Amino acid sequence: MNLKTATRIVQRDGAPQTQRLQADICVVGAGISGISAAVEAARLGRKVVLVDGLPALGGQAVNSLIGTFCGLFSNGPDPYQFTHGIADDILRDLAAREALNYRWGGDWTTVMYDEVALSRWVEDAVYREGVTVILGGVLRRAGRDGRRITELDIATRYGDVTIEAEGFIDATGDAALAWLAGLPCREPEDGPVYGTQMLVLEGVNEDHHPPREAMTARLGEKGREYGMVRVDGFSFLFSGRGIALINMTHVETPLEPVAASARALEGKAQTDKVVDFLKAEYPAAFGDARVRAYGFPGIRQTRWIVGAHHLTVDEVRAGKKFDDAVARCAWAIELHDKPDSIVWESFAHDHVHYVPLGCLTPPDADNLLAVGRCIDADVSALSSVRVMGPCIATGAAAAHALDLAGSGSVHQIDRAALRERLYDNVDRTD
């Protein structure tokens, strides 16, 4: 057999070259909000470049094993869907692959998903829509000319890329684009909002899985004996698969590289104690369980933009409906501001709260919007509207706002036209 043996010698000639790309809309961050933004912009006929620092699409929805769509439906026994767009496609396509597990009615409706199926859905969607993707591309510089972002410098293992675009969407979760552009950002004033190291257990005996309230009580009584930090977490069963999604750790998620990496290892160490607790306290349910997967560090609220509107917890509680609403939700205030527990304030069955366009638009930039978990809100308000339903809606809203703005300003678009385009995500109730 003739095996190939020939090689050629290559050597860098001169300074490394920077590749230049041009787009109508550049989205940084490929979590659920960035995917929504990129797919919607592409469907509007826009040339889209989507960048993510990870070598995979899907952000936390896929890679941190979040596992459940929250905030997609109204509360109560007869829910309707709040957010459509890519949410419709995901729910339809994953249901066809038996990759969803609905928890209907009751006080709120959530949808568990198979993260492998979601990952393939996301890859297929951006591929089909012709989005140019740069994976493993970390945003390093945001060039600005007055009120306009002009270009972004991205570093990848294969070399540097500069992207020029008419409009930009910050879907980084940490407002990395706004931050690097020198725009004002917010951080929590009174201590951190904790993240969570998620894990998936397989081999769980579903017949013996404890009810949520009983487990919460046992965690409170016994969790500390096992060295657990957080003593009020959840275990969600994916019915029929013997799989449970475990959300029982609390870890700080600082925006500093050495500390962030150290805390990530601390999160993994916390999961060992969680597994010890579950196996010892519930041997019938978890005695034979094994860890199938650890997520990447789950990051809730770190740094976010200062927008034209700062959504407050009072506006959330009152269900204030804004003329320029772009997203809605009825998810509880779910604030992870203490190491050992969370604040949970749920809403009535007929409650709806709204996100106005101003929460997405930094006042000093004409062609930049933030989406997902880095929109402008106070710490408690954000703890509700950062769930994935509204993340999908803000992504879609940003795509439409930039489409309407063209080479003009997102602050001067026809808001009635935007509202009409976003009818399904703001006004539809079927």
Among 21, 23, 28, 275, binds ligand FAD (CB under 6 A): 28
Closest approach of ligand FAD to the CB of residue 88, in Å:
16
Find, among 255, 256, 243, 266, the residue nearest to 300 by Cα: 255
Question: What is the C-alpha to C-alpha distance for residues 290 and 235, in angstroms, rounded to an integer?
Answer: 14
Please identify, using beta-carbon distances, which residue of 158 and 280 lies nearer to ligand FAD.
158
Q: Beta-strand (E) ranges in 72-109?
A: 100-103
Closest approach of ligand FAD to the CB of residue 179, in Å:
9
Query: Residue 233, interface with ligand FAD (CB under 6 A)?
Result: no
Please identify, using beta-carbon distances, which residue of 45 and 215 lies nearer to ligand FAD.
215
Find the part of the chain contacting ligand FAD (CB under 6 A) among 47-55, 92-100, 120-128, 221-229. Answer: 47-55
Q: What is the DSSP string of 337-349?
A: -SSS--EEE---T
Closest approach of ligand FAD to the CB of residue 250, in Å:
9
Query: Residue 83, interface with ligand FAD (CB under 6 A)?
Result: no
Query: Residue 373, interface with ligand FAD (CB under 6 A)?
Result: yes
Query: Residue 232, interface with ligand FAD (CB under 6 A)?
Result: no
Query: Residue 181, interface with ligand FAD (CB under 6 A)?
Result: no
Roughly what angle, to the nearest 10 degrees, separates helices 212-222 and 257-281? 110
Please identify, using beta-carbon distances, which residue of 237 and 408 lies nearer to ligand FAD.
237
- Contact predicate 279/287, CB 8 Å: yes
Among 26, 198, 405, 410, binds ligand FAD (CB under 6 A): 198
Please identify, using beta-carbon distances, which residue of 123 and 288 lies nearer to ligand FAD.
123
Find, among 117, 120, 163, the residue nearest to 138 by Cα: 163
Going across the sheet that includes 290-294, the strands are 234-238, 243-247, 199-202, 290-294
Query: Residue 66, interface with ligand FAD (CB under 6 A)?
Result: yes
Question: What kind and span of H or E run contains 382?
Answer: helix 379-385
Question: What is the C-alpha to C-alpha distance for residues 202 and 340, in angstroms, rounded to an integer?
Answer: 26
Find, among 29, 68, 32, the residue nearest to 49 by Cα: 29
Closest approach of ligand FAD to the CB of residue 111, in Å:
9
Distances (CA, A) of 121 to 86, 94, 392: 10, 8, 15
- Size of interface with ligand FAD, in residues (CB under 6 A): 40
Please identify, using beta-carbon distances, which residue of 171 and 401 lies nearer to ligand FAD.
171
Closest approach of ligand FAD to the CB of residue 296, in Å:
9
At 138, give phi and psi (nearest 5°).
-100, 130
Query: Residue 33, interface with ligand FAD (CB under 6 A)?
Result: yes
Please identify, using beta-carbon distances, which residue of 76 and 298 lies nearer to ligand FAD.
298
SS3 track for 251-274? ECCCCCHHHHHHHHHHHHHHHHHH
**x/- track of binding to ligand FAD for residues 280-299 (CB under 6 A):** ------------------xx
Query: Residue 139, interface with ligand FAD (CB under 6 A)?
Result: yes
At 267, give phi and psi (nearest 5°).
-60, -45
Query: What residue ranges bind ligand FAD (CB under 6 A)?
Result: 28-34, 51-54, 59-61, 64, 66, 68-71, 138-139, 171-174, 176, 195-196, 198, 247, 298-300, 372-373, 386-388, 391
